[in-house]
Structure 1
């Protein structure tokens, strides 16, 4: 398979790949839960996420006994690959199959490598939450759409990574949360936050309490909120006047439905300079949160080129 130029922002209408999106969502939940079973807790659940890789999405190295293993969705070659630090590897092709079959095949691949996977076999943050072993409803896999989604993530990951580099306070990696199926990066003011009320479907409120235990401004991309997905930005707790702040670029707006700023992906993709459009959205929505929330911005921000030429 020959890929188009990766400098392009690809078009992918959500309506054209929803069955595949929903199936892939459940598959990533299974793999993410396997990482969660073996990685020690990191604040805000940062240990459970997946990461954009040069070929898809990966767990990165997951500690296991005296070594480590990795699970990667290869969305270019369309395989699930499990690799161990002892040199062992197993995998299988990604093709249309039920969540139940994917779950069985993933556990089998791990078992053949001697890796146990004690996970709670139910999805989170969705309703209904069909147990993985019983999910014969989600069974779609459009390989071309999966690759296009990865290319969307690749572009988002790159621009969000550059945005992240301007912040020297506490800031998350750019990482993929399989609960909401979104790529996210979160900046923190350094102050504590009021307990989150929870309310996510099939997800304990205590999960959200940990995730939102500190005052934050979070941005990301997910395959919803627009015809081709959307970039988002929100604050917790949202300071007074946050929703009324002017943000850019043209086409960005505050969604009362989602309680956050949105920039439809198709608006960014069609801009003369998509990188600049997304960067403007990330910067101006963060400034809305930080300025209205009275963050100590001089102490939290710096020029990522400050050592250039040194």
Structure 2
């Protein structure tokens, strides 16, 4: 059965909201370590990889210890893997505070210091820090799998969209603060960040970029699905076509949105994500003067069947 024939997973924000809120908080615990890594444009160094089992930090290298943290959502646990050993924490009933205490105890046994920051960020109405968040959560494996399925499907399309771009682009991954799966393309053109925004947003907006991604939405104005925007936003976005039926510009949000159910109704959602991203980048080229810096889009690199002259012809 082909991917296009498989049932498209339903993503209902209301059903998933408790698990979304819990996972968003606990992935910030290990995510804080990425803030100690050398800064990449628009926070490209902090993203979590979508793995076959969940979400994982990059390899984190500290004096005396190298480690990674894998949130295995399909297994209901968190694995901390270091050159000094491994520890596993279950994701059962408990609070963010209890998880954080257990996490700090586990990493200490491996020679890893606790995260420098305990602040819970970018979650409206949240407790201010991990130790303050004592609300009880019960692990929902069904919701965790639905979340992973959505990330996995979106990541495949975003990686295919990103592949031919010849400019700077961080790997596709989850921004653990805003909790969106992000693919960005950058342009070395300084811009002026809006005043009054948090420092992390101002740092992200020091240069021009195009962002395409997936988010679970807010249960209100923004539904689960794909989003995109161009920074700085050019004039003329309201009259554009966005490559896929159902995709539309929402000026109040400053986003182009493609709802998850509309994406799933297309003949090939994977190709629709690519078409959506291509339409957004085309708008950046035509309205904001971005260079058309795209290489050939080749489905894999098979030396036995992809002659160099074919690749050159696609690039010309």
What TM-score results when the alignment is normalised by the length of structure 1?
Answer: 0.89
Alpha-carbon distance in 2 for matches of 1:154, 1:198: 35
Alignment of 1:108-127 (within 5 A): 108-127=105-124
How far apart are 1:40 and its partner, in Å? 2.5
For 1:248, the equivalent position in structure 2 comes to 243
How far apart are 1:286 and its partner, in Å? 1.8
How far apart are 1:136 and its partner, in Å? 1.6
Matched, 1:142 2:140: yes
Matched, 1:271 2:266: yes
For 2:195, the equivalent position in structure 1 comes to 197
Alpha-carbon distance in 2 for matches of 1:78, 1:265: 25
Structure 1 gap segments, 5+ residues each: 200-204
Matched, 1:103 2:100: yes
For 1:24, the equivalent position in structure 2 comes to 23
**Residues 33 and 60 of structure 2 are in contact (CA less than 8 Å); yes or no, is this contact kept in structure 1?**
no
Matched, 1:128 2:125: yes
1:37-92 deviation digits (Å, cap 9, x = unpaired)? 4x232232222221111211000211111441000011121110000023x00011
How far apart are 1:95 and its partner, in Å? 1.8
Aligned residues: 298
- Residue in structure 2 matching 1:283, options 261, 264, 278: 278
Alpha-carbon distance in 1 for matches of 2:105, 2:4: 36
How far apart are 1:5 and its partner, in Å? 11
- The alpha-carbon distance between structure 1 residues 82 and 123, as it changes in their structure 2 partners (threshold 3 A), is same
Alignment of 1:1-310 (within 5 A): 9-37=8-36, 39-86=37-84, 88-130=85-127, 131-137=129-135, 139-199=137-197, 205-224=198-217, 229-297=224-292, 300-305=293-298, 308-310=306-308
- The alpha-carbon distance between structure 1 residues 261 and 198, as it changes in their structure 2 partners (threshold 3 A), is farther
How far apart are 1:198 and its partner, in Å? 5.0
**Residues 40 and 47 of structure 1 are in contact (CA less than 8 Å); yes or no, is this contact kept in structure 2?**
yes
- The alpha-carbon distance between structure 1 residues 232 and 137, as it changes in their structure 2 partners (threshold 3 A), is same
Structure 2 gap segments, 5+ residues each: 309-316
SS of 1:152 mapped into structure 2: helix
- The alpha-carbon distance between structure 1 residues 216 and 198, as it changes in their structure 2 partners (threshold 3 A), is farther
Alpha-carbon distance in 1 for matches of 2:185, 2:196: 20
- The alpha-carbon distance between structure 1 residues 295 and 257, as it changes in their structure 2 partners (threshold 3 A), is same
**Residues 57 and 74 of structure 1 are in contact (CA less than 8 Å); yes or no, is this contact kept in structure 2?**
yes
How far apart are 1:158 and its partner, in Å? 0.8
How far apart are 1:259 and its partner, in Å? 0.8
Alpha-carbon distance in 2 for matches of 1:8, 1:159: 17
- The alpha-carbon distance between structure 1 residues 110 and 6, as it changes in their structure 2 partners (threshold 3 A), is farther
Alpha-carbon distance in 2 for matches of 1:5, 1:255: 28
For 1:202, the equivalent position in structure 2 comes to none
SS of 2:93 mapped into structure 1: coil
SS of 2:61 mapped into structure 1: strand
How far apart are 1:190 and its partner, in Å? 2.6
- The alpha-carbon distance between structure 1 residues 107 and 235, as it changes in their structure 2 partners (threshold 3 A), is same
SS of 1:295 mapped into structure 2: coil
What TM-score results when the alignment is normalised by the length of structure 2?
Answer: 0.88
**Residues 23 and 138 of structure 1 are in contact (CA less than 8 Å); yes or no, is this contact kept in structure 2?**
no
